Amino acid sequence: MTSIARHDLTWVGLDVHKISISAAVIRPGRDTAEVTNLMADDASVRKFFSHQGPPDGLRVCYEAGPTGYDLQRKLAGMGINCQVAAPSLIPKAPGDRVKTDRRDARRLARLYRAGELVMIRVPTPQEEAVRDLCRARADMVADLTRARNRLGKFLLRHGQVWAGATAWTVQHRHWLASRHFEDKALRLTFSHYMAVLEEREADLEATTVDLVPYYTKAPFDDAVLRLSCYRGVDRLGALTVASEVCDFRRFGKGEHFASFTGLVPGEHSSGGSVHRTGLTHAGNAHLRHQLCESAWAYTHRPGVGARLLARQEGAPPATVARAWAAQQRLSRRFRALSSRKNVASVVAAAVARELACFLWAEMVS
């Protein structure tokens, strides 16, 4: 860490876009920011920061966004301390109705110097690569769902209704294969929808296979082994959770981790009145969806099946014991809430929040 006093540092706020960057610089002993516009290419960035003084005297930040972490890694490689702020947690004045790139850069620099920004953890390139592959698979799932919905709605419009209990089973596939339309245009439409469906299924299967080697590779091998000991969290789900969080120890408490997932209720309280709202849905949506999906496994009574037993093979005994205690608690909790709530998704969300706390406790133990 640098020994330069805080009042001798130069604070830089960057409003980053894919083509240009607005940079606000607050120099030592000054309260106003100098704003400069520069191109976002490597040469322009290096030239700009070479004129800002010694790298160890600079403190740089920008908002997390679609440009990712390439700029942060580039500046870190230059020896510059650069952090990335959480956009949703940046303070904003209620009366501020003007938004420009230059004003955003100035606000970032001022808030950064005042210590009012919440910084996110920047993943390593390897961590980000695995996370992106997990997210790509989630996109494949969404694409497959849309393809199935389109096909189902097409069949419904033309009186072809599946009467079975569950769709997309072997029997349902045989039923689809037996569909026939007299009109040529309808036959072509049906064949195109089926071709898209088969392509989406192949894409999903290929992406799932691509993820398998990362179950046993660093840096997520230990996390996958331990997290997959919990009911409802298979190895793919464990890899998804681990790649989205990366470092569980950055959360001081389980409730902080639950807040990160957006599985906690909002609150509007003042004076003697306390009013809680629905789930905040703030934070990591990919992680929240995975936890909610895993929570449905606790609708059944506690038990260890063949698949769960296989996942627990080679895991520390203490982890298996904690997973069993969590299963007993969450299964009981699901049944108790189901007896009082008539919306099953609400129950699943509540159980998902507690599951998040159990997984956090497992990874920091």
**Residue entry with tokens 């000054």:** 30
CA distance 16 to 41: 11
Q: What are the CA-CA distances from residue 345 to residues 216, 228, 261 (Å)?
A: 33, 23, 16
pLDDT 10s digits, 56-77: 999 999 999 999 999 999 999 9
| β partners of residue 39 | 20
pLDDT 10s digits, 145-171: 999 999 999 999 999 999 998 999 999
CA distance 40 to 18: 7
pLDDT for 271 = 77
Q: Answer yes or no: is pLDDT of 315 > 50.
A: yes
- Residue 1 pLDDT level (bands cut at 50, 70, 90): very low
**Residue entry with tokens 């980053």:** 16
Name the CATH superfamily, with its identifier, for domain 6-114.
ATPase, nucleotide binding domain (3.30.420.40)
Q: Look over the chain and give the mean of its residue pLDDT values, rounded to a whole number.
A: 94
CA distance 90 to 268: 19
* Residue spans per domain, the chain: 6-114, 125-212, 218-364
The whole-number average pLDDT for the span 219-226 is 97
| Residue closest to 75 by CA, chosen among 87, 59, 64 | 59
The whole-number average pLDDT for the span 271-293 is 87
Strand order in the sheet with 58-63: 34-39, 20-26, 10-16, 58-63, 81-85
Lowest mean pLDDT among 1-5, 239-243, 254-258: 1-5
Residue partners of 259: CB distance under 8 A and separation at least 6:
280, 282, 283
Q: Answer yes or no: is pLDDT of 292 > 60.
A: yes
CA distance 223 to 130: 13
pLDDT 10s digits, 14-58: 999 999 999 999 999 999 999 999 999 999 999 999 999 999 999
pLDDT for 229 = 98
Q: Answer yes or no: is pLDDT of 274 > 80.
A: no
The whole-number average pLDDT for the span 123-137 is 97
* Ramachandran class of 246: left when φ > 0, alpha when ψ lies in -120 to 50, beta otherwise: left
Q: What is the 3-state secondary structure (H, E, C) of the chain?
A: CCCCCHHHCEEEEEEECCCEEEEEEECCCCCCCEEEEEECCHHHHHHHHHCCCCHHHEEEEEECCCCCCHHHHHHHHCCCEEEEECHHHCCCCCCCCCCCHHHHHHHHHHHHHHCCCCECCCCCHHHHHHHHHHHHHHHHHHHHHHHHHHHHHHHHHCCCCCCCCCCCCHHHHHHHHCCCCCCHHHHHHHHHHHHHHHHHHHHHHHHHHHHHHHHHCCCCHHHHHHHCCCCCCCHHHHHHHHHHHCCHHHCCCHHHHHHHHCCCEEECCECCECCEEEECCCCCHHHHHHHHHHHHHHHCCCCCCHHHHHHHCCCCHHHHHHHHHHHHHHHHHHHHHHCCCCCHHHHHHHHHHHHHHHHHHHHHC
pLDDT for 2 = 47
The pairing of strands 58-63 and 34-39 is unpaired
- Residue 96 pLDDT level (bands cut at 50, 70, 90): confident
The whole-number average pLDDT for the span 78-103 is 91
| Residue closest to 301 by CA, chosen among 330, 261, 275 | 330
CA distance 288 to 41: 35
- What's this model's pTM, rounded to 2 decimal places? 0.91
Q: Answer yes or no: is pLDDT of 270 > 80.
A: no
pLDDT 10s digits, 180-216: 999 999 999 999 999 999 999 999 999 999 999 999 9
pLDDT for 275 = 79
The whole-number average pLDDT for the span 133-143 is 97
The whole-number average pLDDT for the span 248-262 is 93
- Residue 97 pLDDT level (bands cut at 50, 70, 90): confident
